[in-house]
Structure 1
């Protein structure tokens, strides 16, 4: 049957044969086994990703949990109110403070932490002793696997009021600093702990990109007399530029995600003014005050802004650098 089908295809004119062979259904028939294998994944995607999207309608409704016989019935029967909750958001002084905190913390992390994994990857790539390289990679990866609760406990024991850091500061005559309750230091603490925990793990993409660089380029550079730093700057860095752009575009799309778990674990009422971000605000409003409509509107606003940022940054990268995700 397959041979007969191939002979039938060969008997067609070249233009029609090319059109048929480039179509989706032709490809689906030839690779039906792959599509059958993808069915469980598609079902999972529909049930857990697309069906819950109906819950976004809560942003445009006054949700009442008791108006229906169950949660889904309550969502359907809750009255439509249009953009009422978005109007509440944009006229709430507290939300202005929340969005400001989110942007400041995210920009701090982007500016100070984005180059760190690149630098670490470049340094690790220059190590020639394989055992030392693997050992250092393991050491810098390990903090990623610690939960933020453990990280908080670790840094609180070091930088807390009676921690080792403050003991050393007092011994030096500087005086103790309340890193966890001082509004001037708390954002810096968030940036530092984020960098300590995730910078090593984020080097994986850049190290993987470096393995795809042609070794002959390094050999030619050595013949031309280029030192290790010049080889790094003129061969390694340009070779990983596409990955750097990819990571930067994706990170820019998460500019309104300042680290929910980290902030939730580490902040306290003393630093709410500088540490309360969109995610923690949604958490307190949605679960604390049971205002699901307002929290859904906040989440939808964050998602729309993230989508716009990803698309605009990808467009800018394609226009000015000639490289982009799509």
Structure 2
């Protein structure tokens, strides 16, 4: 009489492994339940304010009507994207955004790196802590306060900077009323506000450098400058590359608040960027579909820049976001 195979009645191997994997995952989650619990607010934030609103991107392909909603609005395909590039002001605003983004990348991005290295060289701990607190503080000021301080400093009549220039016989300059200076003001104010706070990650990376490396370099006759070039900067490269790639992802997302508070009728020509344009056209003029198309364009540019930058970074340094 034929006998049944030994495997008869047993659970298939794939299903058995699947249950073991699921059980192991659950045990790991339960082991670190406190960490998962405190991460819930962050997860909810991204779900509610980042991922769920992505569904509204469909209105870029519709002639959206707030009374008809997503389902009742007429589909127009890529008409709004075509109108975006045909708009007489769009290329000028895109140029402003790109130029300000380049200035910010070239001037403001390296500022926290330089500041972190300088702070790391300080040997008097009390003075170092005080200086760190001072350079961190501007980050916690709102852009409205920053703009008010900038107006007071750059005023052509009572501003400190113009009074200083007056000692050298230079005529007062209206920095906030001249297209020639507005980009420098935007980048400079942002650098002053955020450079100190941006040193936190770099200082953490510097704290992880083995002190014996500096001692060995000093014994070999290397001065502080050579130690910085040969030890400090190479140790910072992984952190610099990650933050650089994250910065590239928001290259066209310079920030609405930091620009809007500085804009006026005299500097709009060179100061207006895509974020302020979206506010004017989308909220004030109620062109919701058109400005959604502009927002998608910004996101696609950021995605492409991150992917290209990540590829080049992994090829050159071996470090990347993914």
Q: TM over 0.5: same fold? A: yes
- Please list, as runs of the form range in 1=range in 2, the aligned pairs for 1:142-181 lying within 5 A after superposition: 142-162=137-157, 163-181=159-177
Cα distance change on mapping 1:87 and 1:222 into 2, 3 Å:
same
- Please list, as runs of the form range in 1=range in 2, the aligned pairs for 1:119-268 lying within 5 A after superposition: 119-162=114-157, 163-268=159-264
Cα distance change on mapping 1:43 and 1:226 into 2, 3 Å:
closer
Unaligned 5+ segments in structure 2 are: 1-12
Deviation readout 1:2-43 (Å, 9 max, x if unpaired):
xxxxxxxxxxxxxx89x9499852432322425774667655
- Please list, as runs of the form range in 1=range in 2, the aligned pairs for 1:70-85 lying within 5 A after superposition: 74-85=69-80
Once residues 172 and 29 of structure 1 are traced to their aligned partners in structure 2, the CA distance between those partners, rounded to angstroms, is: 72
1:27 aligns with 2:28: no
Cα distance change on mapping 1:76 and 1:322 into 2, 3 Å:
same
- Residue matched to 1:56: 57
Cα distance change on mapping 1:40 and 1:323 into 2, 3 Å:
closer
Residue 218 of structure 1 and its aligned partner are, at CA, apart by: 1.5
Residue 146 of structure 1 and its aligned partner are, at CA, apart by: 0.8
Residue 189 of structure 1 and its aligned partner are, at CA, apart by: 1.2
Residue 48 of structure 1 and its aligned partner are, at CA, apart by: 3.7
Once residues 43 and 236 of structure 1 are traced to their aligned partners in structure 2, the CA distance between those partners, rounded to angstroms, is: 38
- Residue matched to 1:6: none
The equivalent position to 1:95 in structure 2, one of 90, 99, 114, is 90
Aligned to 1:180, the other structure's residue is in SS state helix
Q: Is the 8 A contact 1:20 1:26 kept in 2?
A: no
Residue 44 of structure 1 and its aligned partner are, at CA, apart by: 5.2
Cα distance change on mapping 1:294 and 1:152 into 2, 3 Å:
same
Once residues 70 and 152 of structure 2 are traced to their aligned partners in structure 1, the CA distance between those partners, rounded to angstroms, is: 46
Cα distance change on mapping 1:47 and 1:261 into 2, 3 Å:
closer
Deviation readout 1:80-109 (Å, 9 max, x if unpaired):
111111010011121101110000001011
**TM-score, with structure 1 as normaliser:** 0.87
Number of residue pairs the alignment of both structures matches: 304
Root-mean-square deviation (CA, aligned residues, Å) is 2.2
Unaligned 5+ segments in structure 1 are: 1-15, 68-73
Once residues 115 and 250 of structure 2 are traced to their aligned partners in structure 1, the CA distance between those partners, rounded to angstroms, is: 22
Aligned to 1:177, the other structure's residue is in SS state coil
Aligned to 2:246, the other structure's residue is in SS state helix
Q: Is the 8 A contact 1:85 1:293 kept in 2?
A: yes
Once residues 47 and 227 of structure 1 are traced to their aligned partners in structure 2, the CA distance between those partners, rounded to angstroms, is: 53
Residue 188 of structure 1 and its aligned partner are, at CA, apart by: 1.1
Once residues 79 and 301 of structure 2 are traced to their aligned partners in structure 1, the CA distance between those partners, rounded to angstroms, is: 19
Q: Is the 8 A contact 1:21 1:27 kept in 2?
A: no
Cα distance change on mapping 1:319 and 1:22 into 2, 3 Å:
farther
- Residue matched to 1:7: none
Deviates more, 1:53-62 or 1:164-173: 164-173
